Structures are given as structure tokens and as C-alpha cells.
Amino acid sequence: MKKINFIFGVHNHQPVGNFDGVFQYLFEKSYNPFLNILNQHPKIKCTFHITGPLLEWIQKNHPSYFDILKQMVNRKQVELFSGGMYEPILPIISDQDKLGQIQMMGNYIKNQFHYQPRGMWLAERVWETHLTKVIAEANVEYIAIDDAHFKSTGFSESQLLGYYQMEEQGKTIKVFPISERMRYLVPFQDVNKIFEYLGSIATDQGDQCIVLMDDGEKFGGWPHTYDWVYTQKWLENFFASLEKNQDWVLMTTFSEFVDTHKPMGLVYLPNGSYTEMNEWALRTADAVEYNALRNNLRQNNELEKYGRFFQGGFWRNFLIKYSESNHLHKKMLWVSNKIAEAQQKISKRTISEKKSKILRDAQRALFRGQCNCPYWHGIFGGLYLNHLRFAVYRELIQAEKLIDSIVSSKKKYINFINTDFDKDGNSEIIIESDAYHVILNPSKGGTISEIDYLPNPINLTDVLTRREEVYHKKLFNASQGNSINEIASIHDLIQPKEPGLEKKLFYDSYNRVSLLEHFLPVDSSIWEAHSGKLNSLFSVANVPFKFKNSRISVDKQSCLKLNSAPISIFPDVRFTKQLVFFPGNFKLEIDYEIENFSKDNLNFLVMSEWNLTLLAGTSSDRTYYVKERKLQEPQLNSIGEELNVQEMGFLDSWLNIQIGFQSLEKMIFWRYPIETISQSESGFEKVYQGSCILLGWKVQLKSQEVMRRHLNVFIKEKRD
């Protein structure tokens, strides 16, 4: 009788910062019913990888789940995989953090389940060749990654029924290919089709093995799958069929197969991830061409033969495709380096238990801030989800705040660091105070790309730019439909969450930063700005500024002063801005100067743009205010114009902060929401990313005249 070994596994993950209700929903719809049904079929072996954020949530909220899982581990029905504790993309964090994350999760599993994991899961199956050495040094024996990696190097389907060995600098680990065909069969196709395929790869020797390890959420958590998997008993039928056919479909685990079978040989795999991830990493224009090529192959029935030559993009391209992803990544590296330097200094002397605990807490916060989801975007990616970005920024800011409390002995201070923060070849200025951090970009118009408020950690400038995505075209012909006996894969699902989303697609021509000045025709409107069609006479967005810094004393406080050299906005028109930062609560004084050296009179608007986020556009506890004026629509997703304003800002009762803007001269105040249309596992959705405000004045300059304007910006604890 022909036989085939079958390794079956699930990867269960929820990111740092996801809503408690999402954890609970997926526990009820996927994680718990799957475990209970598996527990009723003790002959069905399964490998579990559960990420750190989810493990910690389950331990706190449903400890009985651990009790059942422990029993299944003890009877060797379940093998547990390790990984990075908080599911980081391993290649993009430091080697020290790689080891720390893997060791932290290994220790957690050992403490909770009295089990030493031998294998580990790679977050999003993102592979880079240097990982072999690090993984081996973490005492991990084997991993599982997509068969697409193998196929791209010339392996055929018949050569992927086992495992191989990889080497880097003499260090080795074992690697199992995950079957893409099985990923698309389970659980979306009828059980009989799966066994037809298993039968086609079974052999007389029975020494080959096929691996399926994929997202556990597809078993009930993805749209429309709960009814298919549980109500219509797909999972029950699948397990029953495995039991019925156990004489030729041999259920096994990674550890059992490694202990009884030799590797099929040596392999060196290229950098990459699973097929869909490689596609999502492409820039939009490239992805359009990529999809056209694949569709052409599919229509000609040649995709299976030639598809392996189309690898798509490279995961790190997300850092280029989305400037926000790159900024978040460089923030993470910045904090990681701070912690590593502090550890190195502290290792040379004895420190108190209090400081030792602060250091451990800082490292855990850093590790939580490395959770991968907000660093990229696909059907499952979280870059577009503002609450996930908020959560990882909160962890990183908290980690930095903790480590600064050890390193700095001053209670009130302000410092600046000149460095290439985002690694693009241009220097940024980092202003660090006891209550806030700011990143200023001289090469990009002297704009601000980050304001961290430390008392209640939040990056107030974490606003996503509105970009065109490949899937936006689907909104114009959205449709869906499933056959009676099969459930659509999440990759094929098209479902708008509200009608008319295609009419709300607006795109930006510049990144959403702050302290960004525009010079506009006097008849410009808020609606042009909202739709991304503002006809700017001049914008400083990509104009390099030169700043000279100095320290000045204001009210006996040592403050940081930055003076820009004049830049030309029109022929014979010069523009400068001076910034003064104060220690303590965030306070920024901005002085603008516009000089008209031409022979003509000038008439235009100068508007300072600020893109800020308080996360919720419709909440009653987060609103706009204008001093001595009642706004008809104070919510943060409102669109409007106010004239003759001398103070306006944001009030947030949730974070308990007030952000204010003041001017002695009466200002024009525009406001509108930054909203994106993105695709998630549940369909197309509109997401509030933040609010754009433009504050400015009408400029009427005669020849040889100078206009000066002053703007104060402050952030402080909100008081009723």
C-alpha cells in the first residue's frame, strides 16, 4: 500500500495592541473550538505555534485552554513551536534582539508547559540567509517555510516531500517546505479533494512527508469560515477521514519525523516569504505588471510550470514602499541601540534591583514594539490599522522613556542629536526632553516627522499618507460569491464594508508630516486640500533647510533655538523660520519671516500644515476646540473652516492631554480628516488615520516689505 507522512500544524497569532474583543472573538470562533475538536481525536497529531501576545492573553483570560493543551503535549499529540516571543520579523531586528526574543519564548513555553521546543516559526515566513546561524545559536533544530523558496531555486514538487539541511558559517539547521497547494486546499475545498491529492503523492516506500502549517484563524476566524468549518463540520470530517485512512496517511510531527528520517540533502534558500507577501511588497505600479503577468500565465494554464520564476518583491521593500513603515522600523532600531548601550555600560558595574527591573521592563517593551503587523501591509498587514501602530509606538516610547530614566540624572532637560535617523543619507535633528521627543527633518522642508508625548506615551504625528493601492481598482467592480460546497479563500474575497467607498479614494502628493508650510492662491479652499488637489504655489515639503542651533535662556530656562537660513519661495522672495524648544512640557515657538525683494506686490496665503492623531475621529472625548467659540462640528473627522482664530487645538479626555496653537495675529483655521481605504481580512474599510489642520494668514506684501508671524504650539495635561 502506498503511504505518505503528513505533518499538520497551525500558527495562531494576534498582534500587540489588537482589541480585546478581537482576541475574544477569535478565541470563541477559532482557537477554542479547534482545540476542543482536536482533543476529541487523540490520533490526530498537530503542531501548535501560538505567539507571545496571544499566549499571554489566553493565560490571563482562559487558563483552562492551557490545561487542555498541556494534556495533549504530555500525550505527545501536540508539538509546540517556539519563535520570537512577540512575533518580530527576525531579519530586521538586531542579532541580540533575535536571540533575546527566541530565548524569551522558549523559556515561556518551558515554564508553562514543561516542554522544550525544538522547532520554531518564522513570523510571516520571512526568510533571509543570515538567519541560519542565529537560529542555530538559539539552539533551534528546525523551521518550516514555504515551498516557494525551494521552487525558486529549481526544486520540483516531488523533491519537496521531506526536509533539508541549511548551513551558514558552519552552523546548520533543518528546514521543512510548507506545501502551498495544501494551504489552498485546507480548509477551503471538499475533504475528498484533499485526500485525492495526498493519494497522488503517496509512495510504496512511505518515507516521504508533506507539511501543512498555516494560520489557525482560517479555521473559523476568517470571514464565512466558521459555518463551513464547524457548523457544516468540515474539521470533524477532515479529522475523521484522517483516522479512517490512518493506514496510509501517517500523522506525525516535526520532531518525530526528524528522529526517524534523514535529511534529503543540503539546500541554500534565497531571501523571501510566501507568494502573497512577495506580491504585497511590490510597489503599486510594479504589482500591477506582476499581476498581469501571472494572470496571463494562469489563463494559458502555464502558471504551475513557470510561476516559480515570478518571485515578486522582497519584504524589506515595505520600508521603501511606506515611509511610515521605515520610520517605525528606525525608531525601533534607535530604541534597541539605546538599550544595548545601556546594558553594556551597566554590565561594568553593580546596579540596584530597581534599575535592573527597569532595564528588564524596557527590553520587554522593546520586544513588544517589534511585533511585525504594523510594519507592513497586505490582506493581513496592520500598517493601515492606526490602533496597531499606536500600540507598538507606545511600547517603543515607553521603552525609551524607561531607559532614559536610568541613563539621565537630570529631572528637567533638553538636548539635541544630529544624526541620520531614517538612514536615507540626510541628517535629522532629534530633540529630547524630559517630557517629549521630536524628530525634525531639515532636508525635507524643516518638517517634523515625530512628536512623542512621554507622560502618556503616544506618537502624536503617526498619520498615514493616502496612497494608491492595487486593490483599489476592485472597488469599482466589487463582487463576491461562494459555491455551495466550497468556501472562498480570503485572498479572493471582495467585500466593501460600506457603499460608496470608491468615491472616497484620495491620494497625497507628499508625506503626512507636520510643520509643513504651503504658499497658496488666495482663492484656495479646504475642499481642494481634503481631496488632495491643492494647487500650491510653493511647498517646503522637499526643500532642504539649513539650521543653526544655539542655546538661549528664557525665563531662566535653557532652551534650544534653531534658525533656518533663508530659502527662495519665488524669485526675490525669501522665507525663514525660527524654532525655539523648551524643556518640560512640549512648547514650541515658531517665528516666520517673509521678505519681498521683488518690484511686485504679493498676495497669497501662507498655511502651516500639522497632521496629528488622537486615534478616534468620532469619539466625544476627543474633539477640536476654538477659544471663545463653540464649534458646530467639533469631532476630529469633521471638515471645516474657521476665520479670525487666535487659539485652537485638540482636547483628549482619554489620554488627558491638550494640544494647542496660539497666535497674536488672527489666523485662518482649516481642518479635515485623513482617511484611507484599505483591504483587510474582513473586506474593504475606511480607516481614520488622523486629522490635518492648516493654520495661516493672508499675505499682502508690497515691494521691499517684510511680514512676520508668530505661532506657539503647546502640549500639556488637559484640565477641565
Neighbouring CB atoms inside 10 A of 605's CB total 20
Name the helix (H) or strand (E) containing 120.
Answer: strand 119-120
pLDDT, one tens digit per residue, over 222-272 is: 989 999 999 999 999 999 999 999 999 999 999 999 999 999 999 999 999
3-state secondary structure of 141: coil
Segment 54-69 shows an average pLDDT of: 98
Q: What pLDDT band is residue 302 in, cutting at 50, 70 and 90? A: confident
Q: Is residue 532 over pLDDT 80?
A: yes
pLDDT, one tens digit per residue, over 290-300 is: 888 888 888 98
Known catalytic membership, residue 428: no
Cis, bond preceding 187 (omega within 30 deg of 0): yes
Least reliable range by pLDDT among 71-80, 112-121, 293-302, 447-456: 293-302
pLDDT, one tens digit per residue, over 399-435 is: 999 999 988 767 788 999 999 999 999 999 999 999 9
Q: What is the pLDDT of residue 485?
A: 42
> Rounded to two decimals, what is the model's pTM?
0.94
Residues of the chain with CATH 2.70.98.10: 495-717
Q: What is the pLDDT of residue 344?
A: 87
DSSP characters for 229-289?
IIIT-HHHHHHHHHHHTTTTEEEE-HHHHHHHS----B--PPSB--HHHHHHTS-HHHHHH
The active-site residue out of 28, 167, 190, 215 is 215
CATH of 4-268, one of 3.30.70.560, 3.20.110.20, 3.40.449.10, 1.25.40.10: 3.20.110.20
Distance between CA 693 and CA 270 in Å, rounded?
46
Percent of the chain clearing pLDDT 70 (strictly above): 96
pLDDT, one tens digit per residue, over 619-652 is: 999 999 999 999 999 999 999 999 999 999 999 9
The active-site residue out of 79, 87, 124, 517 is 124
CA distances from 531 to 528, 535, 674 (A): 5, 11, 10
Strands 142-146 and 171-178 come out as: parallel
| 646, 664 Cβ separation under 8 angstroms | yes
Q: Is residue 494 over pLDDT 80?
A: no
Report residue 107 as a C-alpha cell.
Answer: 523559556
Residues of the chain with CATH 3.20.110.20: 4-268
Q: What is the pLDDT of residue 483?
A: 39
Q: Residue 245's closest CA among 44, 8, 76? A: 44
CA distances from 339 to 84, 695, 698 (A): 18, 39, 48
Identify the CATH class of 495-717. Answer: mainly beta
Q: What is the pLDDT of residue 720?
A: 61
Q: Which amino acid, 179?
A: S
Strands 436-441 and 447-453 come out as: antiparallel
Distance between CA 231 and CA 208 in Å, rounded?
34
Known catalytic membership, residue 595: no
Q: Is residue 381 over pLDDT 70?
A: no
pLDDT, one tens digit per residue, over 170-224 is: 999 999 999 999 999 999 999 999 999 999 999 999 999 999 999 999 999 998 9
Segment 324-335 shows an average pLDDT of: 98
Segment 141-166 shows an average pLDDT of: 94
